[in-house]
Chain A
Amino acid sequence: MTLATGGGEPGASGTPMVLAEALHKRFGRLEVLRGIDLRVARREVVCVIGPSGSGKSTLLRCINHLEKINAGRLWVDGELVGYRQQGGKLYELREREITAKRAEIGMVFQHFNLFPHMTVLENVIEAPIRVKGISKADAIDRARRLLDRAGMADKTEAYPKQLSGGQQQRVAIARALAMDPKLMLFDEPTSALDPELVGDVLAAMRDLATSGMTMIVVTHEMGFAREVGDTLAFMDDGLVVETGRPRDVLANPTQERTRAFLSKVL
């Protein structure tokens, strides 16, 4: 299955940023992903919607090597996820190889998961210093610019508990961006927020999309999906049921399951 990319620049490079073919993931006997096909081009913003338990979060976690896949193939930036292919055989990657790949993929969580024992600034500079090995001065410099862009410049010395949910999530986005990722994964980034705080986080994400970041966003914000997303994927029961331009999918879903879901949430 191939998707036409919307607002991205499909001609920038031939290899897609993410490519999944017949991806399967089981937890014990429970089949969470039952043959996912997905293609995400460079600079493309893909929004994933679907009922809870449909496997959206698991898909993101597979892309970021947080879960091992059971069958099928998954590539990020042209490289297999979790394995190395050599002479027709698959070899599991070592921890160091996996962490190196994770470092190139940013992830934002529903519950922010900021490190509560570190200040905002320490949260943002931790991984660049420890993982990428850049100097503390450079890391602080870069962190300040990112926090400034997120509107958090005056909160660098605060601890996460002293911030609102919206502020915490904007710090979490800055923390992920500090690693200079080539792909950003968002796992329901606004679901744990009070309604009046959702706007700021969505604005930060829109800003990021405009700058050309490749993004996969699991969300319930249909407005965001419609305005910012190049592609909308609807997942149900471990399968991608329907994909297309957000406007088309939301207005004229071709699949009965999509129609049933949208009638409940819109």
Chain B
Amino acid sequence: MATPPESQAAGQAAADTAPPEEIHAVPVRHPGRWVAAAIVVVLFAMLVHTLVTNSRFDWSVIWSYFTSARVLRGLQVTILLTVVSMAIGIALGVILAVMRLSANPLLSASSWVYIWFFRGTPVLVQLLVWFNLAFLYPKISIGIPFGPSWLTANANNLITPLAAAILGLGLNEGAYMAEIVRAGILSVEQGQSEAAQALGMSRGQTLRRIILPQAMRVIIPPTGNETISMLKTSSLASVITVTELLYAVQLIYSVNFKTIPLLIVASIWYLIITSVLTAGQYYVERYFARGSARELPLTPWQRVRRYLTTWHATPPAPPLEPQQRDAS
């Protein structure tokens, strides 16, 4: 956008007269900040000191097990559990949220009951129930309800510990995701679905193309939370003998009794995956924020690059303002 001539003229007029003298005042002192900073520094030094000098941390043990095959296999199972359970949870959440908002009272009520049940019982109990499903139903069949069955399987073979963990975590997650998706759908203005309907779009098209993409902005942050929470909740699968990260290190320390070092191994891996997920969430949020702000903020990488390329020029030029008014 070209600078309007009036403002150029105004700038020249200002330059002609001498600028007023710069202010040099004594800044306010903040002794409290110095004290607080000193306390934090001392505490941090104590932490580093104990990490280095306390030999019971056994750092050599930690590093030797950090990338051991058994730990990595456990990590794989943890990631698999997290991804599959979240996928089930999100798909189920969308279906339950749409049911909950349906005009059909039976659909809405059954969604409500599902959420009530799965949020109302501990996920650990749910995992144990799925693990012991064979007690309730020794045989599982597919067929016509109340009629003949075509396929029958032994529940003990069908519901492996891993399958029980995925079912337990995924179905439980669905209840939480349903409320998150519902909040997202409700956050989209009524006018949006009216405009879509006025254009002749069906209710399904309106939901898929107009409502859900906008609801994503509200849905993504809590879903990121849920994913990180799922990563750690998946360690509950250790009680039903799924060899995920926690159970993998438990199996190791039950033999060599290096309990704390191996728990630290697991914790470091949990922290690494959480960091990766947090970064991923940032970029997904950014993608769905398109159109919601006039100008997207720069990503950390873009900021670093801009800083490196323009570090000699101060200050960096602001992004180009989009034209706000009709050109007239």
- Interface residues of chain A, those whose CB is within 8 Å of chain B, are 64, 66, 95-96, 99-100, 102-107, 109, 111, 113-119, 126-127, 130-132, 158-162, 164, 166-167, 175-176, 179, 197, 200
Contact = CB atoms under 8 A, between A and B. Distances in A.
Of A105, A107, A130, chain B has the most CB atoms within 10 Å of the CB of A130
27 contacts: A99-B202, A103-B200, A105-B198, A107-B195, A109-B191, A109-B195, A109-B198, A111-B191, A114-B195, A115-B195, A116-B292, A117-B213, A117-B288, A117-B290, A117-B291, A126-B209, A127-B196, A127-B200, A127-B201, A130-B209, A131-B199, A132-B200, A161-B292, A164-B326, A176-B198, A176-B199, A179-B200
A113 B195 contact: yes
B325 A164 contact: yes
A103 B196 CA distance: 10
B290 to A, nearest CB: 7
A66 B198 contact: yes
B291 A116 contact: yes
Contacts of B322: 158, 162
Contacts of A175: 199
B293 A66 contact: no
B201 A130 contact: yes
Contacts of B294: 161-162
A167 B202 contact: no
Given A117-B290, A159-B290, A159-B291, A109 B194 contact: yes
A161 B292 CA distance: 7
A137 B61 CA distance: 63
Nearest to B208: A130
A78 B322 CA distance: 47
Closest 7 CB pairs of A and B: A103-B200, A113-B195, A127-B199, A159-B291, A107-B198, A113-B191, A162-B322
A166 B326 contact: yes
B275 interface: no
Interface of B: 189, 191-192, 194-203, 205, 209-210, 213-214, 288, 290-294, 322-326
A166 B323 CA distance: 13
B199 A179 contact: yes
B213 to A, nearest CB: 5
A146 to B, nearest CB: 14
B192 A100 contact: no
Contact of A102 (B189, B192, B198, B326): B198
B214 A117 contact: yes
A115 B201 contact: no
B200 A100 contact: yes
Contacts, number: 88
A133 B200 CA distance: 12
B291 A95 contact: no
Contacts of A126: 199, 201, 209
A28 to B, nearest CB: 17
A106 B198 CA distance: 7
A64 B197 CA distance: 9
A179 B198 CA distance: 11
A108 to B, nearest CB: 9
Nearest to A152: B326
Contacts of B203: 95
B197 A161 contact: no
B198 A64 contact: yes
Nearest to A64: B198
Nearest to A114: B195
A249 to B, nearest CB: 29
Nearest to B293: A161
Contacts of A167: 326
B15 to A, nearest CB: 32
Contacts of B201: 99, 126-127, 130-131
Of B200, B292, B324, chain A has the most CB atoms within 10 Å of the CB of B200
Given A113-B194, A117-B213, A126-B209, A164 B324 contact: yes
Contacts of B325: 164
A134 to B, nearest CB: 13
Given A99-B201, A127-B201, A161 B194 contact: no
B153 to A, nearest CB: 40
A113 to B, nearest CB: 4
A102 B293 CA distance: 31
Contacts of B288: 117
A135 to B, nearest CB: 18
Contacts of A200: 326
A161 B291 contact: yes
B197 A99 contact: yes
A159 B213 CA distance: 15
Nearest to A131: B200
Nearest to A172: B195
